[in-house]
């Protein structure tokens, strides 16, 4: 699944659930209309901006690619990716991305989320859309060449695609991190089991890191790409739910 498909799905979820999320302001996952409009607007704007700019990017010609020289200004960790091109790791990272996109649905197993599941889905749509939107927009603005462009093992057809210029930053890593940190944030609040909380945070920390490593081994990204994707995704997955909670607390205080 490419990022554009994920954007379309997330935007559909946002549009379909916005009204439902606003119908009951007493739900623990609801927040103010103003804040929802701000988050949804930012998500839509970044996604649309990335999509529009993406139409203006052309792929490299075979002659241009043949004249590319191996970059020498990279740090020692980033240079590792120049010698990696493993399709097995690519398939593995794709599988983790698809699986992680469904991870937030595990929250439905908790009895405490009954009656609030529409709000949870709406909240997750904000997280996923904003993550994908920022990732997509940054990719087309920065246009950093992927490591496989300098690897003779990669096929020329792959190198000629516009996607070959979208190294910074890693969308697989950002969305995986957003999914797992979103789950961990809610588990931390909902669960009374200490080991469940610890286990969730361990998974939330390590799985996106592994996905980032797999993207490096696949020749898709440098370490700096996956590190940035990790930080961006984890921040969005953690702080958007926090904004929801603070909005609830403020409204509760005003009613007292």
> Rounded to 10 degrees, what is the CA torsion of 132, 119, 31, 12?
40
Tokens for 123, please give them.
Answer: 């909240």
pTM for the complete prediction? Answer: 0.86
pLDDT tens by residue, the chain, 256 residues: 455 555 555 555 554 455 444 444 444 444 556 667 777 778 778 888 888 888 888 999 999 999 999 998 899 999 999 999 999 999 999 999 999 988 988 888 888 888 777 778 888 888 988 998 899 999 999 999 999 999 999 999 999 999 999 999 999 999 999 999 999 999 998 888 999 999 999 999 999 999 999 999 999 999 999 999 999 999 999 998 888 776 555 554 455 4
Per-residue pLDDT at 25: 41
pLDDT of residue 19: 45
CA angle 226, 229, 231 (to 5 degrees): 110
The predicted pLDDT at position 2 comes to: 55
Q: What is the pLDDT of residue 50?
A: 82
* Distance (Å, whole) CA 41 – CA 108: 27
Closest CA to 40 of 62, 16, 57, 61: 16
Query: Structural domain boundaries of the chain?
Result: 26-66+80-255
Please identify which residue in the block is written with the tokens 């490096």: 216
pLDDT of residue 212: 98
φ, ψ of residue 114 to 5 degrees: the values are -65, 135
């Amino acid at each position: 699944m490419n990022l554009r498909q994920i954007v379309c799905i997330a935007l559909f979820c946002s549009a379909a659930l916005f009204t439902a999320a606003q119908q009951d302001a007493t739900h623990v996952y609801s927040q103010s209309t103003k804040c929802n409009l701000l988050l949804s607007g930012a998500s839509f704007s970044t996604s649309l901006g990335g999509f529009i700019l993406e139409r203006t990017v052309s792929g490299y010609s075979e002659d241009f690619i043949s004249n590319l020289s191996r970059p020498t200004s990279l740090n020692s960790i980033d240079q590792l990716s120049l010698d990696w091109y493993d399709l097995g790791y690519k398939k593995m990272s794709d599988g983790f991305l698809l699986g992680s996109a469904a991870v937030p649905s595990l929250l439905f197993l908790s009895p405490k989320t009954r009656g609030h599941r529409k709000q949870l889905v709406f909240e997750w749509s904000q997280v996923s859309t904003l993550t994908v939107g920022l990732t997509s927009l940054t990719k087309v603005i920065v246009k950093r060449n992927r490591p496989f462009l300098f690897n003779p093992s990669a096929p020329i057809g792959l190198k000629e695609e516009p996607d070959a210029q979208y190294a910074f930053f890693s969308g697989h890593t950002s969305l995986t991190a957003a999914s797992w940190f979103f789950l961990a944030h809610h588990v931390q609040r909902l669960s009374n089991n200490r080991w469940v909380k610890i286990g969730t945070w361990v998974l939330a920390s390590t799985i996106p890191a592994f996905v980032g490593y797999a993207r490096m081994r696949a020749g898709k990204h440098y370490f700096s790409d996956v590190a940035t994707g990790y930080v961006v995704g984890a921040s969005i997955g953690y702080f958007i739910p926090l904004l929801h909670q603070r909005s609830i607390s403020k409204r509760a205080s005003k009613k007292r």
